C-alpha cells in the first residue's frame, strides 16, 4: 500500500496494455487487513461495507477473495462429480 507505483508508471496514459499492467500489479500486491485492535483478518468472500469503504484496495482484496472462493467451490464440485 505504501509503495508509490506512480513512480514506476510515469507513462500510464500511453495505452491500454499499460492500464492492464497497472491493474495486474495492484492485484499482485499482498496486503494485510487489520481490525481496530490491529489484529489481522481474512477478507470475507461475501465482501462488506467496511471493505468498500477502504476504496480500491478493499475492492481488489474482496474480488480476489471472491475469485479464490469461487475457484475452490468449483474445484470441490468437480471433485464431487468425479467421485
Partner 1 sequence: MQRTAKKILLVGWDSADWKMINRLIDEGKMPTMKYLVENGTMGNMATLDPPFSPMLWTSIATGMRPDKHGILGFSEPDPNMHAIRPVSSTSRKVKAIWNILTQKEMKCHVVGWWPSHPVEPINGVMISNHYQREALDKNRQWTMAPGTVHPAELSDFFAHFRISPRELTVQHIQPFVPDYEKIDQDQDHRLESIAKITAECSSIHAAATVIMEMEEWDLMAIYYDSLDHYSHGFMNYNPPRMPNIPEDQFELYKGVVEAGYRYHDMMLKRLIEMAGEDATVMVISDHGFHPDHLRPSFLSDEPAGPAEQHRDHGIFVVKGPGIRKDERIYGACLLDVTPTLLSLLGLPIGKDMDGVPLVQIYENAPEIETIPSWEEVSGYAGMLPSEDQTDPIAAQEALKQLVELGYIDEPDENIETAIKKTVKELKYNLGRVHLGASHLMEAEKIFDELYTESPDQPRFALRLISCYMSLNKLDKAEKLIDDFYQHEVNFVTEHDIKIIAKEKMPEKLKKEGTKKEQEQWAKNKRRQVNRYHQAQSDVLLLQIYKGDLLLKQRNPKEALTIYTKIAQLSHSKQINMKVGNALMKLKRWKAAKENFLKALEYDENAVNALIGLCHSCTKLNEYEAAIDYGITAIGLAYHTPLAHYYLGEALLRYGQYEAAENAFRLAITMAPHLGQARNYLIYLYDVIQKTPEKSAIHRSYFEERGLKVKSPDDEDFEDDEDQIRTEETVTGDFKNNPIKAESEPETEDKDETPLIVKRHKTITDEPVIIVSGLPRSGTSMMMQMLDAAGLTTFTDNERTADESNPKGYYEHKAVKSLMHDASWVKDTPGKVVKVISHLLFYLPARYTYKIIFIDRDLKEVVMSQHAMLVRNGKKGAKEDAYPMNIETQFAQNLKKVKAWEKTHQNVQVLHVNHADVLTKPFEVAEKIAGFLGKQLDILKMAQVVDKDLYRTKV
Q: Which residues bind partner 1 (CB under 8 A)?
A: 1, 5-6, 9, 12-16, 19-20, 22-23, 44, 46-50, 52-57, 59
Give least dist CB 68 to partner 1, A.
Answer: 15
Nearest CA among 12, 34, 29, 31 for reference residue 21: 12
Decide whether 70 or 78 has the Cβ nearer to partner 1.
70
Decide whether 20 or 74 has the Cβ nearer to partner 1.
20
Cβ contacts of 69 within 8 Å, gap of 6 or more: 45
Give least dist CB 23 to partner 1, A.
Answer: 5
Decide whether 1 or 28 has the Cβ nearer to partner 1.
1
Q: Are 65 and 45 in contact (CB under 8 A)?
A: yes
Alpha carbons 22 and 6: distance in angstroms, whole number: 10
Amino acid at each position: 500500500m505504501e509503495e508509490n507505483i506512480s513512480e514506476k508508471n510515469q507513462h500510464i496514459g500511453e495505452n491500454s496494455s499499460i492500464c492492464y499492467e497497472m491493474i495486474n500489479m495492484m492485484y499482485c500486491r499482498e496486503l494485510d487487513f487489520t481490525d481496530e485492535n490491529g489484529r489481522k483478518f481474512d477478507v470475507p468472500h461475501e465482501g462488506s461495507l467496511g471493505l468498500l469503504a477502504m476504496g480500491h484496495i478493499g475492492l481488489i482484496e474482496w474480488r480476489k477473495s471472491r475469485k479464490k472462493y469461487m475457484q475452490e467451490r468449483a474445484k470441490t464440485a468437480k471433485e464431487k462429480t468425479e467421485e
